[in-house]
Amino acid sequence: GVARNACLRRGGEVVLRRSGSAPPLLGDALRRRLASQGQYGFRFGWEFTEVEVVDGASEQMVHWMPGPAAVALPAYGRNVHHFAESVIMLFHASLHPEIYPWLVSLEHLLLPLTSGEQELEWNLGFLDLVLFAAAEHGATRPLVHFAEDLGLWPREGANRGEAPMACFEQLVLLGMTTSEFGLFAHPREADLFRAHADVHLGLGGTPVPALGPEHQMRTFLVERSGSRRLLNKGQVEEAIAFTGLADLHFLNSTARTFELESFRTQVSWMRQTDLLVAVHGSGIINGIFMDPGSVVIDLLCPSFAEVQVC
């Protein structure tokens, strides 16, 4: 038999493998805690089981991969916020290599629940930016493997017994960061990430003048093209304009839809925006690219079918 300490099975299940005298990857107490903990009541998909390696296991169902690897599992697929929080740890780790030595020397980054062919353009752009920014601080740039690369993407008609496994000698489980500064642990970290975005996306042109007492806030109103439509957009615009503090026309439009624009375009808009007013679920995570002192207003309604602001 072949002994490896961790495998991924279709559906994002993490199987910790143990054979003979080889120690488990996680102790029982930590394994139970990781399996039960979540944020806002969610479990992020980690399921842990320990199995013995069986002699004569079908090699056709196992894909072996050497070298350090990390797994990122967004809570929901095709969601910009959950994708961002699942991979931003790689940038944080690059700033603290003494704490996260494995994460700065990764050879493989695994996204077993994400299809590279079907993923949102924003998510792919954000991942590329994170890897670029981490490399700027000395981290190695890992090979990225999506579900179809690992042979884990569900096949029509396949059952659990037919599910292949991708196995690794060293596997890091990426955690979710929780901090007071968006996705970042410190204002300096957020500033660094924005600076890397400007360089990587070619947005380092003439800087936007700093907001002063005599200037209106450059205000950006974002809506959605599908569900959670903003039914009374005109009233919202009137309410914002009534304050006299907002400039709704600095981008020659009063409303935009993030989901229809490229990652670079969305970031470039945010680099010029002081006040972001957006329907919940419309890509508010873009606010991390706004300068310090900017404001985000999230239009959140108990019913997600549509949003009407009274």
Confidence at 225, pLDDT banded by 50, 70, 90: confident
| Together in a domain, 107 and 244 | no
Q: Look up the domain containing 233 and give its range.
A: 207-307
pLDDT recorded at residue 300: 80
| Together in a domain, 145 and 287 | no
pLDDT recorded at residue 100: 84
| Together in a domain, 216 and 153 | no
Q: Cβ–Cβ contacts within 10 Å for residue 28, how many? A: 10
| Together in a domain, 85 and 154 | yes
pLDDT digits (tens, 9 = 90+) for 41-66: 333 344 444 444 444 445 556 677 77
Q: Is 152 domain-assigned?
A: yes
CATH code, domain carrying 277: 3.40.50
Q: Is 197 domain-assigned?
A: no
Q: What is the mean pLDDT of residues 208-223?
A: 80
Residue finishing a domain among 173, 199, 231: 173
Beta bridge partners of 68: 170
Q: Is 245 domain-assigned?
A: yes
Q: Which of 125-129, 204-208, 277-281, 294-298 has the lowest mean pLDDT?
A: 204-208
More confident residue, 267 or 223: 267
Q: Is 195 domain-assigned?
A: no
CA 205 to chain CA centroid, nearest Å? 27
| Together in a domain, 96 and 164 | yes
Q: Report the number of distinct structural domains present in the chain.
A: 2
Judge whether residue 142 has pLDDT over 90.
yes
Judge whether residue 161 has pLDDT over 60.
no
Distance CA 198, CA 223 (A): 25
Judge whether residue 157 has pLDDT over 50.
no
Structure tokens at 200: 């990587």
pLDDT recorded at residue 2: 33
| Together in a domain, 89 and 19 | yes
| Together in a domain, 15 and 113 | yes
| Together in a domain, 153 and 237 | no
Structure tokens at 302: 């108990």
pLDDT recorded at residue 256: 82
Q: What is the mean pLDDT of residues 213-236?
A: 84
| Together in a domain, 112 and 244 | no
Judge whether residue 119 has pLDDT over 70.
yes
What mean pLDDT, rounded, does the chain reach? Answer: 77
Contact 276, 298 (CB under 8 A): no
pLDDT recorded at residue 53: 47
Q: Is 235 domain-assigned?
A: yes
Judge whether residue 114 has pLDDT over 80.
yes
Q: What is the mean pLDDT of residues 69-78?
A: 84
pLDDT recorded at residue 73: 84
| Together in a domain, 244 and 168 | no
Distance CA 45, CA 37 (A): 10
pLDDT recorded at residue 41: 30
Residue finishing a domain among 114, 149, 173: 173
Q: Is 38 domain-assigned?
A: yes
| Together in a domain, 88 and 154 | yes
Q: What is the mean pLDDT of residues 226-247?
A: 86
Judge whether residue 170 has pLDDT over 70.
yes
Q: Is 184 domain-assigned?
A: no
Q: Is 201 domain-assigned?
A: no
SS3 call for 65: strand
Residue finishing a domain among 122, 150, 173: 173
pLDDT recorded at residue 259: 85
pLDDT digits (tens, 9 = 90+) for 245-267: 888 888 766 668 888 889 999 99
pLDDT recorded at residue 166: 76
Distance CA 310, CA 308 (A): 6
pLDDT digits (tens, 9 = 90+) for 8-22: 776 666 666 555 555
| Together in a domain, 14 and 80 | yes
